[in-house]
Structure 1
């Protein structure tokens, strides 16, 4: 049996949530490409020596640079989440839409490297854009390269992520097989909850914490043990200092409630769908976004820390985020939950080797 790890390039990697999941599933991440320096700093620090490339994916020459930085090694898998909003199917596709060029860069990379498989992830809305024609056009681009393509929307809580989040995954295999997506491992009755995820992290009642700290209590759930498994220190668990007015508004929101539960005249400055939302300790959290002003801790009158959001996204505690706090929140919110990548990676391994290689 071979000990060879499948090799991965992560395009549009951000801090690398998806590729960290694949890494934890036994893949070797060679390279991540993005144009955000802070996100690349986080990627580089958390992917076992993978190269972080600050690249312009609008440029065709980038692919040759990618090959060079990957030491011209064989690439088994290309993953990424390119913006796919640049489709106009009312006639010709809008060739001048830059976002369309970004999508094409992933097609071009797959054409160049000829990996055994690719994984493209995106928002679920892509599946129904133009009555599904946008997704069909994307699939055709890869099918024309010789890939058998399958797609499915995955619901994060089904795979152990303590957060309500849906993502569309499009997976292609070069060997002609059709990829079967991993079966769910949990059902609604045993989803991981917000309390399961973050109840062990200290509360900031007396202080705001620091970028590097130590645990103040033992893990209180299997999920917390999993998150803490490889961690010696606690990173990015820093509180936010709120005004008395904001604390007062938050205090009026019951557990699991939102702006609709506020008394008349309270919190009127921000009353939209996700505003003033408090998590519920016995349910998965709402979808983590790229900001940090709309959601609140299920018990305390404050926003979650970067680490708490990272836990809700299934980032293990040894994953450290770099950049200022705003950048850290953005990296967490933009990421694909690593546990989703992990379960996809385990399933995809079954297809990547021929019988003689296993």
Structure 2
């Protein structure tokens, strides 16, 4: 039975959504690796662990640097969210796109450190792109390294795991075959559609900013209005990153004509013609989870107010606690939030992986005996 906290390194860590989820699940996060300095600033500030600026295109040197920086510590788990632009349905979808090959940096890191397990997160399009060739290539790469690798049969939906956002993502999880853990089973949903966390349950307590742009550090003006808000506000005395965008009067006029839950299709003829794509002029619905948070923050709007959500509101919709402070410019902060894995989704996966690391193929009797040590 594993006694010590399992150790983790996070590749393509961004601001640290995956790392935060694993940390909350009881892992010891050794370091995060990325080449975006503002994201690493946010990562180190909040995770209280090392953020390494490394170019994972140059994986051989990067892996050596990682090993030196963690003082040759044993790595139990490697987690990673390689850039998804090449795989994404909105990207160029080119199999030869170098961004599509960045998962090989994860493969080589797994080959070098030989962790007990790994996890890779990516967009849904990776499963079907080029008739499944990309997915098959990823699975084969890790199977050849001696890992029993599982992939989600369909994208996991973040709302199923307590996140107030309809975000879908694919996950690959592998465990070393020689350690006899067997194949991993992904965690079952903890919520059904009748009990999803809604936008209002996530952000209704935050100041409206109707008459002000707000400040990067401010005070709460309301008490929590839902259990989710109470959870997000634990140990937080001040409100960070809640600053409104200074829209033009014309933009606010267009937004004002979009009904709750509506989009550009609901606008009068000739209004908002500058944006006509699927997600354009989308207003959230207070009684539903949000759409997928993106990095551009220009297409989605508050369910009640005529503005885009603030960084803090989007962070709430991603399940980042209010104690998690985003650094850099507002554009950089929005990118960090949009690129992140929702911490609550990551935590559910991390907890399931932790149990698998302990139980593997062991008997139900052993499970019953030591279950309490994992709760």
What does residue range 6-25 of structure 1 map to in structure 2 within 5 Å?
Answer: 6-25=6-25
What does residue range 237-256 of structure 1 map to in structure 2 within 5 Å?
Answer: 237-256=242-261
**Residues 1:96 and 1:131: Cα distance change in structure 2 (over 3 Å):** closer
**Residues 1:107 and 1:274: Cα distance change in structure 2 (over 3 Å):** same
**Residues 1:85 and 1:321: Cα distance change in structure 2 (over 3 Å):** closer
**Residues 1:233 and 1:100: Cα distance change in structure 2 (over 3 Å):** same
Which consecutive unaligned segments of at least 5 residues does structure 1 have? 88-93
1:84, distance to aligned residue in structure 2 (A): 6.4
What does residue range 91-106 of structure 1 map to in structure 2 within 5 Å?
Answer: 97-106=97-106
Residue 52 (str. 1) matches residue 51 (str. 2):
yes
1:286, distance to aligned residue in structure 2 (A): 0.7
What does residue range 297-312 of structure 1 map to in structure 2 within 5 Å?
Answer: 297-312=302-317
Structure 1 equivalent of residue 172 of structure 2: 170
- Give yes or no for contact 2:260–2:285 (8 Å, CA) kept in 1: yes
Structure 1 equivalent of residue 265 of structure 2: 260
Question: TM-score with structure 1 length normalisation?
Answer: 0.94
Give per-residue Cα distances to partners, 1:312-344, cap 9 Å, x unaligned.
011111111011000100110011111110000
What does residue range 209-220 of structure 1 map to in structure 2 within 5 Å?
Answer: 209-220=214-225
Residue 285 (str. 1) matches residue 287 (str. 2):
no
Residue 184 (str. 1) matches residue 186 (str. 2):
no
- Give yes or no for contact 1:31–1:70 (8 Å, CA) kept in 2: yes
- Give yes or no for contact 1:160–1:186 (8 Å, CA) kept in 2: yes
In structure 2, distance between residues paired with 1:97 and 1:193: 37
In structure 2, distance between residues paired with 1:123 and 1:292: 19
Residue 195 (str. 1) matches residue 204 (str. 2):
no
State the secondary structure of the residue aligned to 1:61.
helix
**Residues 1:269 and 1:37: Cα distance change in structure 2 (over 3 Å):** same
In structure 1, distance between residues paired with 2:275 and 2:328: 27
Which consecutive unaligned segments of at least 5 residues does structure 2 have? 88-93
Structure 2 equivalent of residue 81 of structure 1: 81
Q: How many residues align?
A: 351
In structure 1, distance between residues paired with 2:84 and 2:7: 25
Structure 2 equivalent of residue 326 of structure 1: 331
Question: TM-score with structure 2 length normalisation?
Answer: 0.90
User: Which one of the candidate residues 157, 160, 174 is aligned to 1:158?
Assistant: 160
Structure 2 equivalent of residue 90 of structure 1: none
- Give yes or no for contact 1:84–1:103 (8 Å, CA) kept in 2: no
The more displaced of 110-119 and 1-10 is 1-10
- Give yes or no for contact 1:158–1:187 (8 Å, CA) kept in 2: yes
